[in-house]
């Protein structure tokens, strides 16, 4: 009986073993990556324990495990929900809304955001039915095409600032309960990971043994597959 030549099967075996892992890490590095919302700074748009997918091709392609760009084809648009490395500690990831773009002059006045001296449209609105964190102490407003909320319209900064080239000014939609550019400055565009694209899972609580996994008994089905605006 002829002996089977196993040499030809080694590449196939290696591809079968490592191919799915290679595909997974390629997709995660290049196309989309999951993140879990840890705080309420983006309420009412994003809630605690919302699991989002981030479009990593929105602004360009990074060198793997680096902030350097291989190619960058655009910067954020005003209103984009961006995920980025926190400038004071790049090992931590934040999610906020892009408010000021390079060259913009940004100022707060009685709760309204002024861009180059012009206030962003701000109209009173009702609390969304999906906001389980709502109570009578909050006021809701529509700013352009998204909702924001205040507990008190206290301006975090009174001085006008100018966004430098290669940077963006970000704020949370939960305006007076957000640690954002009003307190620690601008986000360099090299810190950008991508744009929030889809809430693919949401829950009230995560598993005690794995904080990045939803407790299946507390899933919030009404938020699954929502596109954050």
List, by residue number, the catalytic residues: 41, 96
CA 24 – CA 32 distance, rounded (Å): 10
CA 100 – CA 78 distance, rounded (Å): 7
Say if residue 193 is exposed, middle or buried (CB neighbours under 10 Å; 0-12, 13-18, 19+).
Answer: buried
- Return the bridge partners of 52, or none: 35, 199
Rg value, the chain, Cα: 21
CA 68 – CA 219 distance, rounded (Å): 37
């Amino acid at each position: 009986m002829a002996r089977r030549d196993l040499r030809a099967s080694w590449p196939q075996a290696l591809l079968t073993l490592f191919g799915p892992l290679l595909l997974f890490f390629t997709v995660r590095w290049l196309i989309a990556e999951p993140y879990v919302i840890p705080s309420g700074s983006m309420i009412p748009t994003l809630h605690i324990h919302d699991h989002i997918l981030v479009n990593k091709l929105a602004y360009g392609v990074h060198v793997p495990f680096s902030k350097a760009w291989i190619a960058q084809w655009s910067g954020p648009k005003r209103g984009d929900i961006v995920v980025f490395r926190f400038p004071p500690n790049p090992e931590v990831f934040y999610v906020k809304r892009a408010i000021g773009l390079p060259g913009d002059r940004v100022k707060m006045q009685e709760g309204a955001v002024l861009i180059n001296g012009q206030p962003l449209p701000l109209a009173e609105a009702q609390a969304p039915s999906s906001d389980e964190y709502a109570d009578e102490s909050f006021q809701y407003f529509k700013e352009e095409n998204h909702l924001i909320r205040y507990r008190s319209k206290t301006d975090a900064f009174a001085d006008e600032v100018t966004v430098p080239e290669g940077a963006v000014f970000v704020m949370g939609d939960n305006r007076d309960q957000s640690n954002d550019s009003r307190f620690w400055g601008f986000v360099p565009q090299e810190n950008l990971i991508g744009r929030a694209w889809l809430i693919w899972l949401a829950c009230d609580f995560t598993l005690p043994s794995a904080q990045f996994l939803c407790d299946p008994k507390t899933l919030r089905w009404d938020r699954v597959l929502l596109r954050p605006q």
